[in-house]
Each structure stands twice: as C-alpha cells, then as structure tokens.
Structure 1
Amino acid sequence: MSISQAVSECTAGDTEGEETTPLLSNGVVPTRAKGASFASSVFNLMNAIMGSGILGLAYAMASTGIIGFCILLLLVSSLASFSIHLLLKLCDQTGINSYEDLGDKALQKPGKFLVGTAILIQNIGAMASYLFILKSELPAAISSLLSPGNTGDAWYDDGRLLLILVTVCVVLPLAILPKIGFLGFTSSLAFFFMLYFAVVVVVKKWSIPCPLPHNVTALPGAFQVISNSSDSECTPRLFIISSKSAYAIPTMAFSFLCHTAILPIYCELDRPSKTRMQNVSNISIGLSFLVYLISALFGYLTFYTHVNSELLLGYDAVMPRDIMVMIVRLAILLSVLLTVPLIHFPARKAVILMLFGGRAFSWLIHISTTVCILMLVLLLAIFVPDIRNVFGIVGSTTSSCLLFVFPGIFYLKISSQPFRSADCIGAALLVVFGCIMGITSFSVIVITWAKGS
C-alpha cells in the first residue's frame, strides 16, 4: 500500500443535483478553492491502494488456487468498498475528516489510541515490506548491471549490508526533513511502475518454459528449481486449501487498505458528496482489482508451484539479465526507496501524538522518534526471512482492523440508524468477518511458524 498526500483542511462545495454533504465547519459552508477533479481523485486513491502487496498476490493464488483466489479477492475488495461506504456516511453525519477522530468520537480516547496504534503498526509493516524488497532485489539489480559473471562473493551481494547503507544514506536524511512534500510525485510514479510490472508479468509468461529448465541456478533468496520438474507441475489448480492459504486473505487486506487516505481525498474532491466519493472509491478499487488479478494470474501461470512469495525474485533464476525485468526491478526499487520516507511521516506523527500530545515542535523529539522508528523497521526487514510473514502478520492484525473491524464498530456506535437497518447489519457482519478472518489467519500463521521451528 502507497501513501497519498493528505490535505489538512476539509470543506464543502456546491453539490447541486447530488447528495448533501455536510463536511462543514460549525454548520457553515466556507468558501473554498476548486478541488481535485473526479479523475484526479481516482488516480490519487489508486496510488494509495497499490503498493508492495502486488508482489505477494501470485503466491496467494498458488496457495488458494485460481478460482479460490478470485473468490477471496472479490470478497475482500467488495468488503473494502462497503467499509469505505460506512466511513463516508460517518463523515457526512459528523463532519469529522480523520480516521483517528472517528475513533475518538466512537470510543473516546481508547478509540483514538487504538486507531493511532493500528495505523502506526500498519505503516511500520508497510515500510518493512518495502525495505525487504530493497534487501532482496538490490543485490540482483546491482549484479546484473555491474558484473554479469558474478559468483555472489562481491560486497554488494549482501542484501543486509546494502539495506543498512541505503537506509542510513538515503532514507534517514529524507525522513528527518520536517516537510517532504517534494517527494509526493513519487506516489504517481509508483502507480505507473505497478502497471508496468503487470505488463511485464503478462509478457514474460510466454518467455519462460514450463517445466522450468533443469540447469537454472537459483540466486540467493530466489526459489530453488526442483530437478525432477514434470509436466504435472504445469497444470494450474483451481482450489487449494493448506496452511499457506492462511496468508492469502491477510495479503489481500494489506493490498486493499487505503482507508486512512479516504477522508483526506474526500476533502479535496471538487464538489464533494458521498455519491461522488463512493464512485471514486468503487472505480479505484475496481481498477486495482483488475491489475492485481492480472499480475497474480500470469505470475502464477508462469511459475506454478515454484512461485516465490516476492514475485520478482522468481525471474532472477530464469532470466537474470533480461532488459524488461531489469527495468521493472529498477523502477520498483526507485519507487520503494522514495516512498518509505512518505510512509514514515504518518507513523512518526502517530507516535508523537500518542506520547507527547500537542507539545510544540522539538527537534530532539522529531529526530529521536524518526531514528527509533527506522531502527525498528530496519531490524524487521533484516531479520524477517520471508515477505509473506510481513503480509500475513500485518494483514491479519492491523489491516483487518482498519479495513473491516473499526469501520463496522464506529458505524454501530456513531450512526443513529436502527440496528435492523441494512447498513447496521452489514457493519455488524463486517466486524464479525474481520475478527474471524484476523484471528484464524493469525493463529494458523503462528502455528505454522511454531511447527517450522
């Protein structure tokens, strides 16, 4: 998931012919400049939706089967759209324009603290997933550019060392800046990089044979090609149920989480109304669904049972110096590198608000919080052995709360509608689904870890 630049104020515009939108300040409609267009808002929300999760969806399909994956992806995307519907209704009813303040309205200070903590953990997980990509992809990218005959002994083949250097020399200086608006354009670039990634996955499906070649040497971190590959491994499976399936829904929840960006984007929408914003979210989720499905399907049909939990790693073993793969790797690495400081900003803000409240700006607090968060994220990226663990744990905990549980609970607490209304019943079911999905997935993942160790 990427970070979309948020606006700081929320006002209302002319909504003639559409649903009334409060978005008021003390009941008064203030004058506002023309906001973002409908198309621009769709683009911004897609930037907020699409991120590192796209690299793990092919593995999710390999763990659930093609039809099983399609059903689950459709279910998660539909529930994401419905939970956005609930948030927008609450925004209209209360005039509140931030997720944390909705938590405060529904559950007082504990609610605000819960939302802030969930956002912090979610952003730490997102940053860890991005740094994990740097750790796994940067050595291969440098090796393919500098030394095609490299045997793996060069210093730049150590992904952990490269990750530390990049974090200290690039990420930390950018994250320490008090304002980082000039990096906002990378969100748009990242979106186009994801589209290019999907195109490359489709094109390379026809370039990689199945069964995979026996003489392929897997690079560090990539899948190991099994020498007795057979044609039976090239038959796609429609339904699969195994312990690996527990990673599927959390990865999807991680991939569709954009709810912290919904209200800010709603605020900057030209002629804001719930109808217009719901259409923005439906189109954004629908287009993201298509990109996710295409990249996951063709990634799975390329590697089948050998698909890696980080899809790009699979191409290293088969075509390490392919031009298209090298370009998409460099593009994603660039977008990841410049997106981490953007994701860091709301995480640091959440920590400072929870620990120091409304205290005036202090460089000591600012720098120490920045360094502590980045050290935690760096340790996670270095020592977590597989990116699916990040998707699984974060997706089954904070992503499920922000995507399913919190919107449902907040709506039930704040809305004045009778409990038997369709939205209240849907909100209750959303909470139940989120709790069951989160607890079940988290439990299976932990049990799998315990058995594996």
Structure 2
Amino acid sequence: MEELARESISLLARSASHADSPRLGSFGAVFIMLKSALGAGLLNFPWAFQKAGGVTTAISVELVSLVFLISGLVILGYASSVSRQKTYQDVVREVCGGAVGQLCEVCFCFNLFMICVAFLVVVQDQLEKLCISLYQTVTGFSEGEMPYHWYTDQRFALFIMCLFIILPLSIPKEIGIQKYTSVLGTLAATYLCAAVIVKYYLMESHVAIITPEHSQGVSSWGSMFSVVPTICFGFQCHEACIAIYSSMENQKLFHWTAISVVSMFFCLLIYTLTGVYGFLTFGRAVASDILLSYPGNDVVIIISRLLFGISIITIYPIILLLGR
C-alpha cells in the first residue's frame, strides 16, 4: 500500500509539473534552434568561402556537413524520446552508462563555459569596433586621436551590458521563454546578411579576384578541409536540441525531424548568402571578420555591427541556461 501511495504521489507531482510548465510550439522551436546556430560564425563565412577555394566547393562542404548535422539532431531527439530524459548529459548517461555520462557532464560543462567566454570576447570586440566607428563618423577624427575615458572603456560597457541585459534574460529557467529574444536575434542576423547582399549590388565595379589560390593538388584539398570546423561551428546547436525537444508540445519524431530540417535550411540560406556575396565582393582580400572589409564610417555597417552584437547577446542566455 505504501509503495502504491508513493507511486500515485509521484505520478500526480509529475502531471502537475507538466501542466505548470509552458510548452514550446513549432514556431518557437524553429527560432530557438535558429538562434542557437546563428552565432559568431556568420562573420567568418565569406572568409571560409575564399579559403575553401570558391563558391561551389564551399557550398558542397556545407551540404555534406549538413547531412551529418541534421542526422545528429534527429538521433539526439530519438535518444531523448527513448530514454525519457530532458538534458543532454542525462540522455548520454541513460543510453551509454554512468561512467560515460559523468565524462559527458564534464565535457559538456567545459564546452559551454568556453562558448560563454568566447561570446563575451566577441561582444567586447564588437563594442570596441562599434565605439571606434561611431567616434570616426561623428567627429571625423581617426582612431589614434580618440581620447580614453573609463566610462568609454569597452570592459566597463561589457560589465554594464552583462548586469542589465544578459543577467535579466538569463534568469528564466525555461528555454521556451527564449523564443521571443530568439526572433529578435534571428532578425538581427538576417539584417547583416541583407546588408552584405545590398552592398554587393551597390558597388560600381566588381574587380575582386575570386579565383582560388590553390586550384588543384594537395593544397586545394587541405584548404577545403581547413574550413570544415568553421562551417560546422556555424551550424552547431546540438547542446540545446534536447532541451528544446523536451519542451515541445509535439514530441513525435517526424515533427522533430521537420523542425531540425527547417531550422537548418534557414541557417544554410543565411550563411550561404552571406558567404557568397561577401566572397564575391572582396574575393581573396576578404577579412576573417567580413565587417572589417567595409569602411568603418559606413552607417549600414555600423548598424550591422550593432545588430550583430544584439544577435550574440540573445544566444548567451540559452547557453547559460544549459550550463546552469
């Protein structure tokens, strides 16, 4: 009788928790997946296209990588469904055993910590470049003539941003709430893509050298494979996928597969358009940060840098939630 009573209480508690927690719809799931993937790698894709040896080679690498990435998302969703676990490390522990699960926990936390540090560095870098661009645009002076004040230091600005923007966004313990900021972050990343395309068509003449440095041989293969980490990092959202899947209303495997394909397709579209037009605009001279290839006092590029910083900020609460 006592055992039956305990089971009844646990079932009631479980049903109550499911009733209380907000469920995530398809629209929200797609945008959170999109925002988890659309990160700092967006700035590097034109350089990756140049390094890979041109548009055709780079898109081929993207498509091959995407097959494995989508397969990984579907497998993780299936593993979460079978194991009935809601976190990445719990799924690994349930499927692969306790020892592998503990190792996964350590690697998972370390990975998320390093991503958080990297994103803060990216945000600080964007703040610094944004301040320099604004100063040059407003005053007409060069970067070397910019006076130093403690309140204009990018480290102070980063502290204020973390305290008043990132921290409040990171307080909710449900990933579903991040769908609102994810829409904003996705639109911000889309603006950068649109700016690169528009800038290409507004050019008076296209004189960029787009022929590959290594057309054949071992060097060309080496260049192609050297951009695989950059491209795969751009589509990386596997850390968040199990948390997203377990928060969804419809957890059928076919539906999850559709969510994965749709979100990765839009990622592919944004990354490819940015990579193609950025590469065609500057060719071999393209910088690893595409925004550095444009004049610093260009208003469209200043807005792009500001919105890109906002885009990175909207990813941070998702990563922090997973680590917490």
TM-score interval (norm. to shorter): 0.7 to 0.9
Does residue 1:326 correspond to 2:302, yes or no? Answer: yes
Superposition deviation, residue 243 in structure 1: 5.5
Does residue 1:305 correspond to 2:293, yes or no? Answer: no
Describe the superposition over 1:201-221 as per-residue Cα deviations: whole angstroms up to 9, x where unpaired: 11111234667xxxxxxxxxx
Q: Which residue of 2 aligns with 1:343?
A: 319
Q: Which residue of 1 aligns with 2:160?
A: 169
Equivalent residues of 2:36, 2:240 under 8 A apart: yes
Does residue 1:54 correspond to 2:42, yes or no? Answer: yes
> Could you tell me which amino acid in structure 1 is paired with residue 258 of structure 2?
N
Determine helix, strand or coil for the equivalent of 1:269: coil
Q: Which residue of 2 aligns with 1:189?
A: 184
Does residue 1:87 correspond to 2:82, yes or no? Answer: no
> Could you tell me which amino acid in structure 1 is paired with residue 62 of structure 2?
L
TM-score, length of structure 2 as denominator length: 0.79
Equivalent residues of 2:86, 2:243 under 8 A apart: yes
Superposition deviation, residue 314 in structure 1: 1.2
Distance, in Å, in 1 between the alignment partners of 2:128 and 2:28 is 36
> Could you tell me which amino acid in structure 2 is paired with residue 321 of structure 1?
N
Distance, in Å, in 2 between the alignment partners of 1:199 and 1:174 is 26
Does residue 1:150 correspond to 2:141, yes or no? Answer: yes
Question: CA 1:269/1:176 → structure 2, altered by over 3 Å: closer, same or farther?
Answer: closer
Question: CA 1:244/1:29 → structure 2, altered by over 3 Å: closer, same or farther?
Answer: same
Describe the superposition over 1:10-34 as per-residue Cα deviations: whole angstroms up to 9, x where unpaired: xxxxxxxxxxxxxxx98x9947558
Determine helix, strand or coil for the equivalent of 1:270: coil
Describe the superposition over 1:115-163 as per-residue Cα deviations: whole angstroms up to 9, x where unpaired: 23333343344334433433443333223323432222245789xx944
Q: Which residue of 1 aligns with 2:248?
A: 269
Determine helix, strand or coil for the equivalent of 1:272: coil
Question: CA 1:271/1:70 → structure 2, altered by over 3 Å: closer, same or farther?
Answer: same
- How many residue pairs end up in the alignment? 298
Describe the superposition over 1:380-429 as per-residue Cα deviations: whole angstroms up to 9, x where unpaired: xxxxxxxxxxxxxxxxxxxxxxxxxxxxxxxxxxxxxxxxxxxxxxxxxx
> Could you tell me which amino acid in structure 2 is paired with residue 191 of structure 1?
T
Distance, in Å, in 2 between the alignment partners of 1:296 and 1:157 is 36
Equivalent residues of 2:136, 2:142 under 8 A apart: no
Aligned to 2:29, which of 19, 41, 48? 41
Q: Which protein has the bigger helix share? A: 2
Question: CA 1:88/1:42 → structure 2, altered by over 3 Å: closer, same or farther?
Answer: same
Describe the superposition over 1:230-281 as per-residue Cα deviations: whole angstroms up to 9, x where unpaired: x5x5234496727654541111221111122222222232232111111111
Q: Show structure 2 runs of 5+ residues with no match.
A: 1-9
Superposition deviation, residue 177 in structure 1: 6.6
Q: Which residue of 2 aligns with 1:120?
A: 109
> Could you tell me which amino acid in structure 2 is paired with residue 71 of structure 1?
S
Distance, in Å, in 1 between the alignment partners of 2:82 and 2:310 is 41
> Could you tell me which amino acid in structure 2 is paired with residue 286 of structure 1?
F
Superposition deviation, residue 54 in structure 1: 1.2
Question: CA 1:197/1:157 → structure 2, altered by over 3 Å: closer, same or farther?
Answer: farther
> Could you tell me which amino acid in structure 2 is paired with residue 122 of structure 1?
N
Q: Show structure 1 runs of 5+ residues with no match.
A: 1-24, 212-230, 350-453
Distance, in Å, in 2 between the alignment partners of 1:139 and 1:268 is 37
Give identity over the alignment, percent: 19
Describe the superposition over 1:183-228 as per-residue Cα deviations: whole angstroms up to 9, x where unpaired: 94433211111111111111111234667xxxxxxxxxxxxxxxxx
Equivalent residues of 2:210, 2:284 under 8 A apart: no
Distance, in Å, in 2 between the alignment partners of 1:48 and 1:288 is 10
C-alpha RMSD over aligned residues: 3.3
The higher relative CO (CA closer than 8 Å, separation ≥ 6) is in 2
Question: CA 1:181/1:327 → structure 2, altered by over 3 Å: closer, same or farther?
Answer: same
Does residue 1:286 correspond to 2:284, yes or no? Answer: no
